[in-house]
Amino acid sequence: MPHPIEPTQPPPTAAYGVPWAISRTDRTHPVVLNAGPEPVDFVKVMRSDASPAHLVDLWGQVLPAETIELCLCDSDLDDVVVTIAWFRQTDGLEYVWRFVV
């Protein structure tokens, strides 16, 4: 019989705002900004239209105010969904956020 998994720490009680801001001045090259006050770790980006060989783009740590440009030249901009996943240093949890251009 399966047993419930006991959490080792309670979930966070305060809301955490997504640290990302997207500049869509050029839709084929949106710029992702870490607008949050803290660095984020192990950042990875996935596109809904990526081939299996290019499914995940690993960015590593992204510092506050750091920007990274995405290249969506080969994408159908009306259909592509970009997913960003990252870990927060303060709680060690993984967060995920999706956006469209």
- Protein fold of 20-100: Immunoglobulin-like (2.60.40)
Q: What is residue 53's three-state secondary structure?
A: helix
* CB neighbour class for 7 (10 Å; exposed up to 12, middle 13-18, buried from 19): exposed
Q: Tell me the whole-structure pTM to 2 decimals.
A: 0.82
The structural domains of the chain, with segments of one domain joined by +, span 20-100
Tell me the C-alpha distance between 63 and 36, whole Å: 9
Tell me the C-alpha distance between 51 and 42, whole Å: 21
Q: Which pLDDT tens digits describe the chain residue by residue (101 residues)?
A: 666 667 776 666 678 899 999 999 999 999 999 999 999 999 999 999 877 767 899 999 999 999 999 999 988 999 999 999 999 999 999 999 999 98
pLDDT reported for residue 55: 81
Contact 81, 100 (CB under 8 A): yes
